[in-house]
Amino acid sequence: QVQLVESGGGVVQPGGSLTLSCAASRFSFSSYGMHWVRQAPGRGLEWVAFIRYDGSNKYYTDSVKGRFTISRDNSKNTLSLQMNNLRAEDTAVYYCAKDFYSAALQGNWFDPWGQGTLVTVSS
């Protein structure tokens, strides 16, 4: 079955940077759009970013525009999230998730999800 494994989380100071990775396997990675979704401790879910299957378009929630960059390497089945100028409110578990439909031009449903990686922004 589909496997998504996130890595790269940790503790970072406000204003710092971090890059998250998501290793995908057991499906045709290059055929599916991918998402990042986050969940602050004890809070609900927040969609962060989406990248189309071929990397041609990227979408972000307003609070991360200009600070976060989603990217993918279809030759390595890897999704990334470069996070710059981090703020305390970015503290969360970050999940990567596969889009439900193949070759979708826009974001749809998240299925499945990885287990997440925790990012803590604190001095």
CB of 123 to other proteins, least distance (A): 27
Using the rule CB under 8 A, which residue among 3, 85, 102, 106 binds other proteins?
106
- 7, β-bridge pairs: 21
Instruction: Determine if the peptide bond prior to 14 is cis (ω within 30°).
Output: no
**Residue 113 binds to other proteins (criterion: CB under 8 A):** yes
Stretch touching other proteins by CB under 8 A, among 7-15, 17-25, 74-82, 101-109: 101-109
With a CB cutoff of 8 Å and minimum separation 6, the contacts of 117 are: 6, 7, 8, 9, 20, 93, 94
Amino acid at 79: L
State the greatest distance between any 2 C-alpha atoms of the chain, in Å, as a whole number. 41
CB of 95 to other proteins, least distance (A): 6
Strands 3-7 and 45-51: unpaired
Contacting other proteins within 17-76 (CB under 8 A): 35, 44-47, 50, 59-62
**Residue 118 binds to other proteins (criterion: CB under 8 A):** no
Name the residues that contact other proteins, by CB under 8 A.
35, 44-47, 50, 59-62, 95, 100, 106-116
